[in-house]
Chains A and B, each alone.
Chain A
Amino acid sequence: MALTSDDFAALYDRHGRSLVIFFQRRMYDAEAAVDLMAETFAVAFRDRAQFRGGDAAGWLYGIAHHQLTGYYRRGSVERRALARLGVARRELSDAEIERIDELAGTAALRAELGGALARLPAEQRDALELRVVQECSYAEVARRLSVSEPTARQRVSRALRELAGALEQWEAVQER
């Protein structure tokens, strides 16, 4: 069943705002969140022939996840589908950036992540800080912590898994 332009308009009205919040909670960058939301809709429209019917929102969020993965990999928003549609980039006002932050509950998320960090075993927290904050190589992390490199990798990996778990739990509560 092909989606019409009216269907897309309805999808946008229903999910545009939620998608911005979805991206903001994962990127902490309101401008990029709005850009990715728009690109998600543009990609969905471009690929509308691939929609096989059923849950349009689920299909849309699948595209959103894909966009997010691409963003993490590239470190920037791809605007190819928007470019094809000729949709120009819009600038956010400071008030809009603050409002998106507020809607996404970023401050609460920061506190939640801060708590999760505090609950990490010290050895994992140290390894995570060296790797992520100080951008040390794993060899350097291992040297600084006087452990083997596999152990350093394991500590960082476990710490990230713990934080991801905390984030998922927090999101589940927020979205209930």
Chain B
Amino acid sequence: MSDLPILDELGADLQAAFRDPRGVRGRPLRSLVLAAVLLVLLAASAGAATYYVLRASPIAPLKPSDVESQQQVARGTSRVLALRASDPVRGEPPWGLRIARSKTGLTCGTVGQIVNGEFGIVGLDGRFRVVPEPNADACSIAGADGMTLLGLRVFDADKAAKVRTLLNGLANPQLRRVQVSLGGGDPRTIPHDRSGAFVIALRGYPEDLQPVVTLTFAGGRAKRLALATSDNVIPDPLGGGAWRTEVGGFGCPIRHGKPAANCHPPTCVTFSTARAGKASAGSPGLCGKSDDSPGHVSRALFYGARRLSGKRRLMSSPFSGRWNGHAPRTALWGLAPTSVASIEITGPSGLRRVARPALNRAFLVVLDPTVNPEALRVAIHYRDGRVIHTGPDHHLVPTPQP
């Protein structure tokens, strides 16, 4: 079952329980702290990102055989910096950064929590476990820009409110200021120490936060880094999970072994929660006529506005959507050609949003569900200066049934 390690792990759990059912009864059932998922590194060795699944057992030190030599921590070189970042929940242990040297001379960083002077992680079961010295998140060397490490470390959880993203980094003593803005908001200054290290604990996943870090060094030189961004992933305006657009289409019927002539199947755009999972929600597809063909620059432009709610289940079409009980949202989404620079959406009470087509040509604006989609107005700004004004629905065709 090596292609599905989870079955091996579950099998081991079950077999242990089968052998000694009374011995395991009453064991805590909740899954504890889960994974470290994302590391954004600057010139870092791509060695073993530590991955913790804590189950009433200590965190095992990484085996040297499982770690690239550049990322093997040299024994006795670790030190936990005095820098502390508070957890978003008051009363939870603060977060810190442990710096070490690898056996090949790289600088390694690890984020963790500090309890009674020890460096580790508090699991969702409330138990603190020490993170052993060999377990480093990432190792790197100082770059010409003064940065050694910059990372987003995710501590996943079974509830969104418990998910933590740890933004952390190590620059150099010339660092004067670290500013972080989240979801396009105003920048705020976060503390750093004399060595140029910084860490901040945030609630939520990186794509929900889309942090932009601006580092200012002595002499005024500034470095701006946008993390966890993608042009087709947008943060939720109401503080929920981020959204992602997708573009899909239908094939032409095959007649006598060839696609039917003069077939122009529609293209459809959907959007869904960027992070897949049981609670993920997806919009229905909005479809328009496609004019895609080899060597031809598409001019397809279509969009629509809808208020989405409920628990729709996907049955008849890959584009029928499944909102899955997600909190309601009003949204306007569709497809624009590359000749469009921006899409300006206006509405009641001075509402104004500007969207730009992503690489997949889709665009999306998510709004508060109290906004009436029919009250929205759209202005399409072309790169050549033309502007066209329309209502909330434009050039849509019915979603085809497969």
Contacts and interface: CB of A to CB of B under 8 A. Distances in A.
B316 A88 contact: no
A13 interface: yes
A83 B1 CA distance: 24
A160 B25 CA distance: 43
B287 to A, nearest CB: 15
Contact of B31 (A38, A89, A125): A89
A97 interface: yes
Contact of A16 (B1, B32, B277): B1
Interface in B288-328: 310-318, 320
Interface stretch (A56-64, A113-121, A142-150): A113-121
A45 interface: yes
A90 B18 contact: no
A26 to B, nearest CB: 14
Contacts of A134: 312
A171 interface: no
B177 interface: no
A110 B10 CA distance: 29
A48 to B, nearest CB: 9
Nearest to A114: B402
B25 A86 contact: yes
B129 to A, nearest CB: 15
A128 B315 contact: yes
B310 A135 contact: yes
Interface residues of A, number: 48
Contacts of B17: 42, 45, 85-87
Nearest to B8: A16
B316 A12 contact: no
Interface in A121-136: 125, 128-129, 132-135
Nearest to A12: B11
A88 B10 CA distance: 9
Interface SS, B side: loop
Contacts of A125: 316, 401
Interface in B1-60: 1, 3-7, 9-11, 13-15, 17-19, 21, 24-32, 34-35, 53, 55
Contacts of B313: 132-133, 135
Nearest to B19: A5
Contacts of A176: none
Contacts of A79: 29
Nearest to B25: A86
Contact of A29 (B18, B25, B35, B278): B278
A8 B14 contact: yes
A152 interface: no
Contacts of A42: 14, 17
Q: Rank and list the top 9 A-B pairs by shortest CB-CB distance, nearest first.
A: A114-B402, A86-B27, A86-B24, A5-B18, A85-B17, A132-B315, A87-B13, A8-B18, A89-B31
19 contacts: A5-B19, A12-B11, A12-B15, A16-B7, A42-B14, A45-B21, A85-B17, A85-B21, A85-B25, A86-B17, A86-B25, A87-B17, A87-B29, A88-B28, A89-B29, A90-B9, A91-B6, A100-B4, A133-B320
